[in-house]
Amino acid sequence: MSMIKCPECGERVSTMAGTCPHCGINIAGNLRQCPNCNEYCLNTQSQCPYCGTGLPALTEEPAEPQAEQTAPETAEAQQKPATKSRKPLIIAMSVATVIMVIICGIYYLDYKNNKDREEREYAMLENTSNPEYYNDFLAKYPKSIHYQEVKERLKVLLDEGEEWDKMMQNLSRAEIEKFMNAHPYSMRLHDCQDLIDSLDWSDAKKLNTEEAIINYLNTHPNGKYAEEAAQKKNDLSMMKITDQDKAIIRGALENFFTAAMSKQDVALIAESIPEKMENFCGTQDATPDQIVAFAKNKMASDVMGLHYTIEGDFDVRKQTLSDSTTGYAVTFGLQEIISRSDTNQPSTKTYQVSALLNAEHKITRMSIR
């Protein structure tokens, strides 16, 4: 790009300008140089405006260059179908690539699932001593990295199998501990510990005492039955009878026998029972009047009085009643002392009594045999 004088107005203008900004004449593509003074003239001028030299008239360009100019366009037009013809190939290659990726993904997922399954089944062998599971693993995974280890563990299991069978035929804590001492690295040690856990829990349940349950929990704090044992301990603790409980219950029963049998007092009997006693010596929903009638039947013509004394074992335990509250089941011996006018007649009798008292220490059931 250079600055020249506009051939029309003489003002300075760029050779690259479309038009002269001063006079508006076309500049770009409309200039030629004077062969004499080399100044720029317009293509339409017949002589140089600067030196007056005549300028030759311009002729039209031959048709051949035009053909050359359109040749690239023709070639480009010919190339377009070729570009389109590659699209199906590109699409096919893209589809093939996607399919290969999917196939590889499926293969990888299948491989990973198989490896995960293998590791899970291998981990399961830690908690079993059944040779069948070991044989099954070896058959399913012959190329596993654990194959040799599992094979050796199976051999150990089979070698100690006879002693294991003998122990199971005479199952006891002593026999289990004997096996564990003989095979300190056995795969069956976990099974041995489970067996001891079960035996100890069975013994604790048979004793059914708070001390036995606590002993089990101390020996097996994480045992299979630890949760059940903890609940049992709480239940036994709630059912535990204190000396004060026994004294209150004994007093309630002594008052009943004094009122019912000795004095045959309806009002005093009503204080010892709910509105009705569910069962009294076979009578359902016995009222105080019916209990007094039972006592009067014992008063033969020569009987002047009846007196009762609780004796022998006085066993009390807590029991859940029909209304889901906690009551007291009691068994004890009862001596009946009879005052007779005929001293030759028997003066004492002994009975076994079973009674049930509610949480308020009211007698709800009683049998006298």
Query: What digits encode the pLDDT tens for the residues 31-67?
Result: 888 888 888 888 888 888 888 888 887 765 544 444 4
To 10 degrees, the CA torsion angle through 60, 62, 63, 67? -120
Predicted pLDDT of residue 65:
47
229, 313: one domain: no
Mean pLDDT of 89-95: 87
Identify the DSSP state of 261: I
272, 314: one domain: yes
268, 334: one domain: yes
Domain presence at residue 142: no
279, 320: one domain: yes
The pLDDT mean for the chain works out to 86
| H helices present in the chain, as ranges | 63-85, 87-124, 131-140, 147-159, 161-169, 173-182, 189-207, 210-219, 226-239, 243-257, 266-272, 288-296
Residue where a domain terminates, one of 239, 265, 290: 239
293, 196: one domain: no
Chain-centroid distance, C-alpha 356:
45
**How many structural domains compose the chain?**
3
285, 313: one domain: yes
45, 10: one domain: yes
Mean pLDDT of 222-245: 90
- pLDDT tens per residue across span 124-180: 887 777 888 899 999 999 989 999 989 988 888 888 888 998 999 999 999 999 999
Identify the DSSP state of 147: H
Mean pLDDT of 262-280: 93
Q: Is 323 strand, coil or helix?
A: coil
Mean pLDDT of 327-343: 88
Domain presence at residue 131: no
Percent share of the chain, pLDDT over 90? 42
Look up the domain containing 206 and give its range. 160-239
Residue where a domain terminates, one of 57, 72, 92: 57
CATH number at residue 258: 3.10.450.50
Calculate the alpha carbon distances from 296 to 13, 141, 261, 263, 271 in Å: 150, 88, 8, 10, 19
Assign 255 a pLDDT band (cuts: 50, 70, 90): very high
DSSP string, 24-58: --B-TT-EEE-TTT--EEETT-SB-TTT--B-PPP
210, 291: one domain: no
Domain presence at residue 231: yes
247, 358: one domain: yes
Predicted pLDDT of residue 5:
82
Q: How far apart are CA 265 and CA 74, in angstroms?
A: 135
Domain presence at residue 111: no
Calculate the alpha carbon distances from 182 to 4, 86, 168, 210 in Å: 116, 79, 15, 35
Taking a C-beta distance cutoff of 8 angstroms, is the pair 209, 217 a contact? no
Enter the pTM of the model. 0.45
Percent share of the chain, pLDDT over 70? 92
Domain presence at residue 121: no
* Structure token digits, residue 241: 């009878």
Predicted pLDDT of residue 85:
65
Residue where a domain terminates, one of 239, 260, 290: 239
Identify the DSSP state of 339: E
Taking a C-beta distance cutoff of 8 angstroms, is the pair 133, 154 a contact? no
Longest dimension (CA), the chain: 185
- pLDDT tens per residue across span 184-206: 888 889 899 999 999 999 999 99
Domain presence at residue 225: yes
285, 177: one domain: no
